[in-house]
Structure 1
């Protein structure tokens, strides 16, 4: 989704008026949510999950229209997979909402506190952010995930999905709003912006009405929001993920990890996009893994040394360019290179990676510790697939995104990351001398 910030003055003014009205309704809803008990919120989440199941046929029909429009506009297979909803996927989305019910409510949690010698009690507690704007692209499951996490954490959510999922998102949000209202919580706890690009500009500059914006999608979307927002932003980065196979790797294990990291789902941000192999095992490991990729229809971008191996095995490939090392393919493509050492792999990752998830496969614990310490990423995995970088896999329930920045939140974000803190002082007349 490309966002432009210039628009005719009258169109932008109308968008600002409309988005500000949405934000004011969200502020009122957030004030009510702040008073809701955990039982209130959990009951609403159960109703929201059931509403998705009850309206499965309607959601699938809307999604089919989105898919048909996407095909007509030349959407690739990977993006269509991210967009596609089936009854099974809707059931999984509903289950993800239900999983949030079982998670602890972060609001009101006391992080620290003390009683001063004069009897004044001081404590720092978690409180909702308030109004959170979420800007994302073609995965309609994010709509339900964001709504569920928002309700549980006491935040009103303003959602702006990509145009590719417009009809799917409209039906999903209608179902969620209906369930909220029927359960006694404000329907405006979840609102959907369905206007043009001007709405994004209005949302990310609604300082004082919107407390936080979270962009989730491609590099263009994220950078546009980060650079154009006056509202605070949590940056969720693209997933240019690497798997490094060390000289001390168990190559049977490495093969399984590489295949799972790349091919479990090629269209998700935790999918591997680059494979780096130590030169000492390249001649043994590369023929096998390149053959695996070739039989599965994966397009290969190989550096010179990996290309020599491929020529010997007859596997087709394209020479890797510098742009290939920087690319998040989100499809059945991967860049492959041979490195001279673990440090060379680390340097490559820190130069080209997106600070999302990085993997080392090795039986050398010293090499693993060095990799973990030196690689700059939100998640570093040792002898495990990159596919585990996911809020659900981390026990967080549904996730709002994966932060690649270092302030406030890093890695998969769920309920605690949607809160701020408030200091509460309780006394019985103390004054300061």
Structure 2
């Protein structure tokens, strides 16, 4: 482990211990101070970001990716406003999750506490640097940020500004750290920092997430690859089903909660598929369909890989199924456990689908696009988890906490005969 990495990791560890007991007010003041500093020093951020953009162009990066990388004063103002919104959210730290008085008289409480030091490995947009830092600080955690090398200049400037802003607050400046270096070695150091880092959260594509999960010795909260499905049931309202499908696929195709496959019950296929193919074509979507879908119109023949794909583009796989159970079996085989939807007028079918589909979110007569921390009313999210540990689905502030058990007695002693109270 390099000296540079050890320095920032130990600084984060020390800051986490100072930050954890702070009440809400100083954390909120610190976040608002960060927001003000970002706006006041926007020109500095734009200058650093311009270096990243120029380097990306020299490397032949697509304009779409460059747009994701670019920061201007308007975008910086939006990032700052997002930080203020985090400051306005309830503080989960100290919340009593459960509490009771035991038969022996001990008072027992389970409280939310910070996780400690959170490492975040992410790709692309530099706004994630600020979003992640704000969420971690609000939940009482220090953060080690390892963003994309393509945004290194931007991220360096953003972290420096946040640290300098924190110096004027009660929150320790060391609570926000940028992992030094731009090579894969720096990522490996973060993944091997067990004992210094309490948890890792990867945000990005499947290859990044899989690499972190497979190689990390630090516990990982796995955020979601989104192979999301829309199942159109035999008793679906066809018009509604078409509208939901097009929204789920085409409203914003490059995100993890966009639909990547639609399944249609054979009993409604004649009525639904022709209208769906036409609507998807008008939205610019290419359909990769099985043989039964192909009977209704021109499609690209679907392969096994199509049903496994997270396209993140204007493409969608499609198949006709013989029953709800067959649809569920397809989702279990090919899905990623992110979000899956059913469109139906049957309460029985809806209840059965919800019971059988084992995903982080299940939608009934609604687009998959609603699986999002903001849409769920959390105010913000650090990512969407598809695992089955304490955090599943959109991860807001509570998911960035653990718990602590506290029990209070009056001289309670445990003996072989039971509890006695001393004194």
How high is the TM-score relative to the length of structure 2? 0.91
1:293 paired residue number: 280
Are residue 149 (structure 1) and residue 130 (structure 2) matched? no
2:238 to 251, 259, 275: 251
Q: Classify 1:276/1:80 alpha carbon distance in 2 versus 1 (closer, same or farther; 3 Å).
A: farther
The residue number in structure 2 matching 1:384 is 366
Q: Which residue does 1:223 correspond to in 2? A: 210
Q: For residue 275 of structure 1, give the secondary structure of its aligned residue in structure 2.
A: strand
**8 Å Cα contact 2:191-2:217 kept in structure 1:** yes
Residues 1:239 and 1:75: Cα distance change in structure 2 (over 3 Å): farther
Partner of 2:419: none
Match of 1:264 among 251, 264, 287: 251
More moved, 293-302 vs 328-337: 293-302
Secondary structure of 1:268's partner? Answer: coil
Q: TM-score, normalised by structure 1?
A: 0.89
Shift of 1:79: 4.3
User: Residue 287 of structure 2 contacts residue 315 of structure 2 at CA under 8 Å; is this kept in 1?
Assistant: yes
Q: CA deviation at 1:190?
A: 1.1
> Which residue of 156, 168, 172 maps to 2:158?
172
The question of whether the paired residues in 2 share the 8 Å contact of 1:82 and 1:268 is answered with no
Alpha-carbon RMSD: 2.2
**Residues 1:103 and 2:93 are matched in the alignment:** no
**Number of the residue aligned with 1:426:** 408
Contact kept? 2:231, 2:343, Cα under 8 Å: yes
CA deviations on 1:191-246 (whole Å, 9 max, x unpaired) are 11241111111111111111111112111111111111111111112011111122
Aligned to 2:421: none
Give the match's secondary structure for 2:256. Answer: coil
CA distance in 1, matches of 2:48, 2:384: 28
Equivalent residue, structure 2, for 1:50: 36
Q: Residues of 2 paired with 1:138 and 1:103: CA distance?
A: 26
Does the alignment pair 1:334 with 2:316? yes
* Aligned 8 A contact 1:212 1:232 in 2: yes
Which stretch shifts more, 129-138 or 68-77?
68-77
Contact 1:78–1:266 under 8 Å retained in 2: no
SS of equivalent to 2:352: helix
* Counterpart residue number, 1:393: 375
Contact preservation (8 Å) 1:240, 1:354: yes
In structure 1, what is the Cα distance between the partners aligned to 2:358 and 2:62? 31
Flag structure 2 segments of 5+ consecutive residues without an equivalent.
416-423
State the partner residue of 1:304.
291
How far does the alpha carbon of each residue in 1:70-127 deviate from its partner, in whole angstroms, 9 at most, with x for none?
4554545664554444544444333322222222211111222344566543322111
Tell me the residue number matched to 1:185: 171
Pair 75,296 (structure 1): closer, same or farther in 2 beyond 3 Å? farther
Alpha-carbon deviation of 1:169?
2.3
User: How many residues get paired?
Assistant: 414
Aligned to 2:418: none
Q: Which moved more, 1:327-336 or 1:275-284?
A: 275-284
What is the CA deviation profile of residues 118-152 of structure 1, one whole-angstrom value per residue up to 9, with x for unaligned ones? 65433221111110101111133322221111111
Q: Does the CA contact (< 8 Å) of 1:138 and 1:164 recur in 2?
A: yes
Distance in 2 between residues matched to 1:293 and 1:75, nearest whole Å: 29
Work out whether 1:161 is the aligned partner of 2:151: no
1:188-207 pair list within 5 angstroms: 188-195=174-181, 196-207=183-194
Report the equivalent of 2:5.
Answer: 19
CA distance in 2, matches of 1:68, 1:285: 48
User: Runs of 5+ in structure 1 lacking a partner?
Assistant: 1-12, 312-316
Q: Corresponding residue for 1:4? A: none
92-101 vs 203-212, greater mean Cα deviation: 92-101
**Distance change in 2, residues 1:74/1:238 (3 Å):** farther
